[in-house]
């Protein structure tokens, strides 16, 4: 998923309503032909639609404007104008839409779910509606109502079973590459992962779960430092969290506490999620060092050791994840 796109801003405009008709019936054998103008058609809506086959907002990346059709004007014989054609925007599950004020106007969670984000203008009423005992031949009709217009921001929050949380260079990309077919960028410098990666992890008996490698956060991310909010928001949508603390960390438990605090500062509810603590790069450790690291952690927060390079502990880690997801 090297082309992951999680933020797009598009100018949207729903269709204007068609004008009502002010037609008067002039048929040869109809004396004093009365009003018979039909209503205008509704303008086209702009509708957000969930598509489980889409994984990114990439198809919208180069879309600058989305415009729905205007409604057709009404005509004689009380004929209502056709509705303007609606425009559908297919997006991945987990997409939210915000208006220019930053308010959430739609959130797509299910395949096929549809939410109108901009309503088409109502069609104007034809003169037939304005006939009365004192005004038998009204020569006026309503114009169509204007559609809605403005910029809409689309943001994608990853929907995954387990999200990897750790500082840059904690080994998240290496783990994802080791347990799935995902091919994230891997290097020994900070912030290799600038965009989230998803991988399908095979488990026992043909079962599987989705793992998300989320860009490394740094102390102060909740205040917008480093990569900040843009990536913290992805963590909200993961069922459970897997904290990765590298074996060569100077203080393993303290590093976990900093990560936990960043999530709490951003959204206190994140701390209520189920989580697993792990120590990556365990191939750097002997049994004595592992024992020392375990002593840093409380009894109820003991980490799992693994090495993506030597495969040590990977099955144990998968078992723990599966148990948290389905226990």
Q: How far apart are CA 32 and CA 24, in angstroms?
A: 9
Q: Does 323 appear as a known binding residue?
A: no
Flag whether 192 is marked binding. Answer: yes
281 annotated to bind ligand: yes
- Does 187 appear as a known binding residue? no
Q: Is 205 annotated as a binding residue?
A: no
201 is in an annotated binding site: no
Q: Check the annotation: does 200 bind a ligand.
A: no
- Is 280 annotated for ligand binding? yes
Instruction: Tell me the two tokens of residue 200.
Output: 């399908």
Is residue 195 a known part of a binding site?
Answer: yes
Q: Is 258 annotated as belonging to a binding site?
A: no
- The answer to the question of whether 215 is labelled as a binding residue is yes
Residues whose CB falls within 8 Å of the CB of residue 49, separated by 6 or more in sequence, listed in order: 88, 89, 90, 91, 108, 112, 113, 114
Q: Binding site annotation covers 52? A: no
Ligand-binding annotation for 303, yes or no, is no
Q: Determine whether the annotation assigns residue 309 to a binding site.
A: yes
30 is in an annotated binding site: no
User: Does the annotation place 15 within a ligand binding site?
Assistant: no
Establish whether 291 is an annotated binding residue.
no
* Cβ atoms within 10 Å of 61's Cβ, excluding its own: 11
Q: Is 191 annotated as a binding residue?
A: yes
- Please answer whether residues 107 and 169 qualify as being in contact, where contact means their C-beta atoms are separated by less than 8 angstroms: no
82 annotated as ligand-binding:
no
| 222 in a labelled binding site | no
Residue numbers in the known binding site for GTP are: 166-173, 191-195, 213-216, 280-283, 307-309
Binding residues: 166-173, 191-195, 213-216, 280-283, 307-309
Annotated binding site for Mg(2+): 173, 193
């Amino acid at each position: 998923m090297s082309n992951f796109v999680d933020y797009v801003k598009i100018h949207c405009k729903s269709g204007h309503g068609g004008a009502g008709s002010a037609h008067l019936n002039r048929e040869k054998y109809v004396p004093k032909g009365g009003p018979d103008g039909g209503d205008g058609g509704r303008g086209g809506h702009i509708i957000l639609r969930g598509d489980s086959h889409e994984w990114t907002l990439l198809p919208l990346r180069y879309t600058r404007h989305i415009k729905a059709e205007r409604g057709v004007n009404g005509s004689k014989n009380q004929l209502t104008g056709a509705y303007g054609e609606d425009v559908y925007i297919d997006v991945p599950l987990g997409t939210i839409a915000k208006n220019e004020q930053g308010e959430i106007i739609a959130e797509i969670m299910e395949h096929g779910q549809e939410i109108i984000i901009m309503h088409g203008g109502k069609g104007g009423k034809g003169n037939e509606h304005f006939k009365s005992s004192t005004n038998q031949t009204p020569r006026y009709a309503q114009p169509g109502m204007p559609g809605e217009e403005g910029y809409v921001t689309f943001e994608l929050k990853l929907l995954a079973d387990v999200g990897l949380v750790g500082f840059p260079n904690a080994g998240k990309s290496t783990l994802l590459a080791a347990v799935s077919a995902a091919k994230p960028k891997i290097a020994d410098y900070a912030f290799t992962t600038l965009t989230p990666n998803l991988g399908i992890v095979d488990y026992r008996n043909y079962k599987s779960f989705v793992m998300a490698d989320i860009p490394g956060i740094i102390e102060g991310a909740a205040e917008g430092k480093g990569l900040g909010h843009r990536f913290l928001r992805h963590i909200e949508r993961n069922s459970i969290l897997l904290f990765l603390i590298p074996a060569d960390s100077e203080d393993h438990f303290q590093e976990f506490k900093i990560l936990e605090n960043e999530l709490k500062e951003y959204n206190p509810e994140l701390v209520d999620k189920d989580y697993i603590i792990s120590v990556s790069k365990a191939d750097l450790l002997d049994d004595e060092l592992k024992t020392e690291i375990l002593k840093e952690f409380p009894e109820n927060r003991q980490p799992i050791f693994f090495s993506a390079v030597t495969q040590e502990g990977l099955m144990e880690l998968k078992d723990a994840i599966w148990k948290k997801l389905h226990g």
